[in-house]
Amino acid sequence: MIINTTAVLRSMCCLYTVGHVVEVVHTLPEGGPVIGVTSLDNEIFLVRRKEPDEIEVYDAITYRLQRGLTVPNACVLIDMTSCEHFHCLYIGDSDFECVHRLDAEGNASHWPIHDKPIGLSGNAAHNVIVTCRFVRKIKEFSSHGDLLRELTLPDDVINPWHTKQLRSGQFIVCHDDGEDNNPVHRVCVISADGRHIVHSRGGQPGSDIDQYDESFHLAIDDNECVYVADFVNRRVTLLSPTLTYIRQVVSSDYLKWLPIRLYLDVQRRCLYVADNDLEDDCPAGRVVVFSV
């Protein structure tokens, strides 16, 4: 009998998290709605909707505001991720249909997407994965903007919000189909070629553990367990690499508004949740930091 040691260890690590209780470590200041949060070295980077060209930089230990960074020629910023290998930030711009790149020396550049980006993430090859919601595509770029490949998602993955790539090459995508009569809100594992759904969780929108209602953003830990921001249900859930439900990580009791962005600092075991009030008359946002 051959035992897959890696799979067993992953399963054990995921099961270990079932009884773990999250704690609020800190809450960053309220301001405009937060549309991107990430960290690099000992700093936290946060971008708000009201200040499209300014990134707030906080100390990751003291949580004190350190400085602001300008994104030249920014228009409507939509999401942000970071890369330790190249020591830089990537910020999506939906109006200019581009990705802005800021490096540690303050050098700024950008490259075209030729579609509106909605979600950004990095992969193990230190490339940038861009989710293009309206054309149902995933685009992979090098750190300096070379288009490496472009994948069209399966027909029933209609409106993707965010994508993370696993070490196997498969993708995890959260999406909804936008149908009023028969809506479907799911998290899916997609084959490495983008053609097939390997696993899925969700269906009709709802609040049961098997359901989602606008799952906007994802994070993945070292064991490739998946954190899902369940927007309308005001919670963050944890799934196994095959999308088996493990537990609810963050409940509505910990949130003032609605979770729209996630970032997991694996080394510090901190989960950053962008908690936003998107009411048109008085939009606001903050980031709640949890130990996980």
Please report the pLDDT score of residue 282 as a whole number. Answer: 77
Amino acid at 197: I
Cβ contacts of residue 192 below 8 Å, gap of 6+?
A: 168, 169, 170, 171
What percent of the chain has a predicted confidence (pLDDT) above 70?
90
Query: What are 220-234's pLDDT values in tens digits?
Result: 999 999 999 999 999
User: Residue 254: helix, strand or coil by DSSP?
Assistant: helix
CA distance 265 to 43: 11
CA distance 242 to 184: 19
Q: What is the mean pLDDT of the chain?
A: 90
Structure tokens at 209: 């553990």
**How much is the average pLDDT of 96-113?**
93
The class that CATH gives domain 153-279 is mainly beta
User: Residue 239: helix, strand or coil by DSSP?
Assistant: strand
Q: In sequence order, what are the beta bridge partners of 278?
A: none
Q: Is the pLDDT of residue 8 over 80?
A: no
CA distance 178 to 190: 19
Amino acid at 118: I
Structure tokens at 63: 């949580």
Domain boundaries, the chain: 153-279
Is 246 within 8 Å of 210 (Cβ atoms)?
A: no
Q: How confident is the model at residue 77 (pLDDT cuts 50, 70, 90)?
A: very high
Q: Is the pLDDT of residue 53 over 70?
A: no
Query: What are 123-182's pLDDT values in tens digits?
Result: 999 999 999 999 999 999 999 999 999 999 999 999 999 999 999 999 999 999 766 667
